[in-house]
Amino acid sequence: MLEDYIRKRLREKDILLMAHIVVGYPSIEDSFELVRTIVEAGVDLIELQIPFSEPIADGPVILQANQAAIADSIRVDDCFKFAQKVTSAFDIPFLFMTYYNILFKRGEERFFAEAREAGIRGTIVPDLPPEEGESYMAAAAANNIDPIFILAPTSSPERINHLARFGRGFFYCVARKGVTGLDTDFSDEMTEFLNQCKRATQLPLALGFGVSSKEDVQFLRGKAEVAVVGSQALRILNAQGIQAVGDFFRGLK
């Protein structure tokens, strides 16, 4: 499971990197090249976002990539095929990230059975709190896939303790208020939040939202196990192309 993978990997390095891509953006072929480049750059985990028309937790950069992929007729079926292809080609764990409607519409049991078939190891669904996720968690468990839940700095200590009970694989800690793709202040406040999470769970912590430089990753060493990079890589992809994304990830370590 993902926890074991992360622990094993942490014997070789002190922080892992998780990259995020939007499947089918800018094209399905480019997505494959992007994954290859990111894996070669030494990234440890990859989130594959299945595009959704109403991505409420995403800011402008990822939002526009979602829209472009949908406008380009990327279907959920294509994302499963893509997952199959990358999980066979590359030896790191892949997770699906998407919004709940994509799972709901396909049927949770079918979604997870197909995800397992495609070699997917975890799922991140930002608009699904565990309160609404009973059948989701059951379907994930039945297929040996880790449903990753999210902890936020706005949640009370009681709430964080409550959420900790549902954890599998690792927790995704959001660095700050707001959506993806905005600036983040890597501050004492964040350290305190991560400490709070540590007290609540034994599972590894991944921190995302606003991680964009070597300094940010350095800040997180010893505080979180995984640094998640999304919008910044997408910005670089948009401005400079796939190779530059590889250089960017190499430069983060």
Should residue 39 be labelled a site residue for other proteins when binding is judged by CB under 8 A? no
Alpha helices by DSSP H, 48-151:
60-71, 76-89, 100-106, 108-117, 134-142
Should residue 138 be labelled a site residue for other proteins when binding is judged by CB under 8 A? no
Catalytic residue status for 189? no
Should residue 16 be labelled a site residue for other proteins when binding is judged by CB under 8 A? no
> For residue 71, with 0-12 CB atoms within 10 Å meaning exposed, 13-18 middle and 19 or more buried, which class applies?
exposed
- How many other C-beta atoms lie within 10 A of the C-beta of residue 19? 27
Residue number with CB closer to other proteins (37 or 155): 155
Should residue 196 be labelled a site residue for other proteins when binding is judged by CB under 8 A? no
Task: Name the segment binding other proteins (CB under 8 A); options: 24-32, 56-64, 82-90, 244-252.
Answer: 56-64
Distance CA 171, CA 238 (A): 29
Should residue 137 be labelled a site residue for other proteins when binding is judged by CB under 8 A? no
Closest CA to 193 of 179, 182, 180, 208: 208
- Contact pattern from residue 94 through residue 123 relative to other proteins, giving x for each residue in contact according to CB under 8 A and a dash for the rest: -----xxxx-xxx-----------------
Residue number with CB closer to other proteins (165 or 177): 177
Kindly name the residue from 14, 30, 47, 131 that is annotated as catalytic: 47
Phi-psi region of 210 (alpha: psi -120 to 50; beta: other; left: phi over 0): left
Closest CA to 170 of 196, 197, 192: 197
Distance CA 111, CA 27 (A): 23
Interacting residues of 62 by C-beta distance below 8 A, sequence separation 6+: 20, 22, 49, 55, 180, 181, 230, 231, 234
Task: Name the segment binding other proteins (CB under 8 A); options: 33-41, 49-57, 193-201, 226-234.
Answer: 49-57
Should residue 226 be labelled a site residue for other proteins when binding is judged by CB under 8 A? no
Should residue 60 be labelled a site residue for other proteins when binding is judged by CB under 8 A? yes
Should residue 206 be labelled a site residue for other proteins when binding is judged by CB under 8 A? no
- For the bound state, the minimum distance from the C-beta of residue 249 to other proteins, rounded and expressed in Å, comes to 26
Catalytic residue status for 58? yes
* 209, 174 Cβ separation under 8 angstroms: yes
- For the bound state, the minimum distance from the C-beta of residue 205 to other proteins, rounded and expressed in Å, comes to 14
- For the bound state, the minimum distance from the C-beta of residue 113 to other proteins, rounded and expressed in Å, comes to 17
Kindly name the residue from 14, 29, 44, 58 that is annotated as catalytic: 58
Residue 153 DSSP SS3: coil
Residue number with CB closer to other proteins (119 or 153): 153
Should residue 59 be labelled a site residue for other proteins when binding is judged by CB under 8 A? yes
* 238, 68 Cβ separation under 8 angstroms: no
Residues designated catalytic? 47, 58
Footprint of other proteins on this chain (CB under 8 A)?
A: 52-57, 59-60, 63-64, 67, 70, 75-76, 99-102, 104-106, 126-129, 131-132, 149-156, 159, 163, 174, 177-179, 182
